[in-house]
Structure 1
């Protein structure tokens, strides 16, 4: 159930998403149902429903709500879809996805973040999300293929190995560009003849880094 904390802010939160063009009712409902305050640092809970990114552990961020909603809407999710997320962070994006598809596999390189996200998602009953500590640039073959892939950290280029994980008709969305500065959100669709690429909007994300982080 949605949290009752800061009801005026939550009302503005939904209004802001609609004013900025989010129209998918399932996405809006998921954004309403998932309590964002559960995924931010304690000191930031009063600001949980502002449309801005916030810092979390390990020098990472939780994306601004509009970006979360926009990326989710662009994925055109269906209930039977299996989704891969690269960059779990606090688990907020995975929680949103969990309401819209059948299964989410989310990969995080920081153990602290992976453990924290796993606990939050379990507490909220997001039983269709699996959090894995691992390298988003080296997805194990045993993970299989996916209907949708979402990358929540900036990549200078999208690895071919990642696009090859898309099922036919599958879709990937990722911020592409320099690690420091502005990136472009790119959507890739796997067709019968190859891949179709579309550039969407400019964004700013923390960099996607290879390997599993040393610090726990």
Structure 2
């Protein structure tokens, strides 16, 4: 809010945005607080600022998108991040999801295949005071093995199956959220919970909600 007691349109949009999240079933107070603290306008281009708080995905550079606020909040809530957790994010994009996670976790490592997006996200995250986020240019399918294990892993692009390297980098008792499904077919958010049993490693899978994400691609981008 402005110091003279009046409200800007951005203030009003942010309040309505939080009310929409509550109406759609987001109830975790820490997640709602994080969503309210991160200025979504700082993670979209200036020409889309007036649409930043609309509950819709928006385009960003390199043919990617910033997910709609509800999906960001829902994935974050289902991930169950605690203050002591180390989180791996696959697909930095604009940096918005990483910024939300930074309010909840001890450390966030985010992998982005496009150098342009990684550089922009670092600038935005630094400006937003998200000092516990590290953005790395790399192949999301490979994760970040030298920093593993991670308590939580979130993937913001759709894979056709759970990447084996990411499952390996998930800590015992850890949780991974990712969209699964073909590029041109039905996709669902899936929650994977890892546990060790006498028979070996177990990955329990819960199907959550239908979604639509850009495809997860292998390797670093040769350009951009």
TM-score class normalised by the smaller sequence = over 0.9
Deviation of 1:134 (Å): 0.4
Alpha-carbon contact 1:181-1:204 (below 8 Å) kept: no
Alpha-carbon contact 2:151-2:175 (below 8 Å) kept: yes
After superposition, where does 1:2-13 map in structure 2 within 5 Å?
5-13=9-17
Cα 1:140–1:21 shift into 2, 3 Å: closer
Deviation digits for residues 42-86 of structure 1 (CA, Å, limit 9, x no counterpart): 111000000000000000000000000000000111000000000
TM-score by structure 1 length?
0.96
Whole-angstrom distance in 2 between the partners of 1:180 and 1:115: 30
Find out whether 1:125 has 2:129 as its counterpart: yes
Deviation of 1:24 (Å): 0.3
SS of residue paired to 2:223: coil
Deviation digits for residues 151-197 of structure 1 (CA, Å, limit 9, x no counterpart): 00000111222111111110000000011243100000012321111
Q: How many residues in Structure 1 have an aligned counterpart in Structure 2? A: 216
1:199 pairs, out of 197, 202, 207, with: 207
Alpha-carbon contact 2:41-2:49 (below 8 Å) kept: yes
Q: What residue number does 1:187 align with?
A: 191
Find out whether 1:105 has 2:97 as its counterpart: no
TM-score by structure 2 length?
0.93
After superposition, where does 1:1-216 map in structure 2 within 5 Å?
5-193=9-197, 194-216=202-224
Whole-angstrom distance in 1 between the partners of 2:27 and 2:155: 22
Deviation of 1:4 (Å): 5.2
Whole-angstrom distance in 2 between the partners of 1:5 and 1:116: 25
Alpha-carbon contact 2:112-2:136 (below 8 Å) kept: yes
Whole-angstrom distance in 2 between the partners of 1:96 and 1:181: 29
Deviation digits for residues 20-39 of structure 1 (CA, Å, limit 9, x no counterpart): 00000000000000000000
Whole-angstrom distance in 2 between the partners of 1:60 and 1:180: 16
Whole-angstrom distance in 2 between the partners of 1:4 and 1:115: 30
| Structure label with greater radius of gyration | 2
Q: Which runs of 5+ in 1 are unaligned?
A: none
Deviation of 1:139 (Å): 2.6
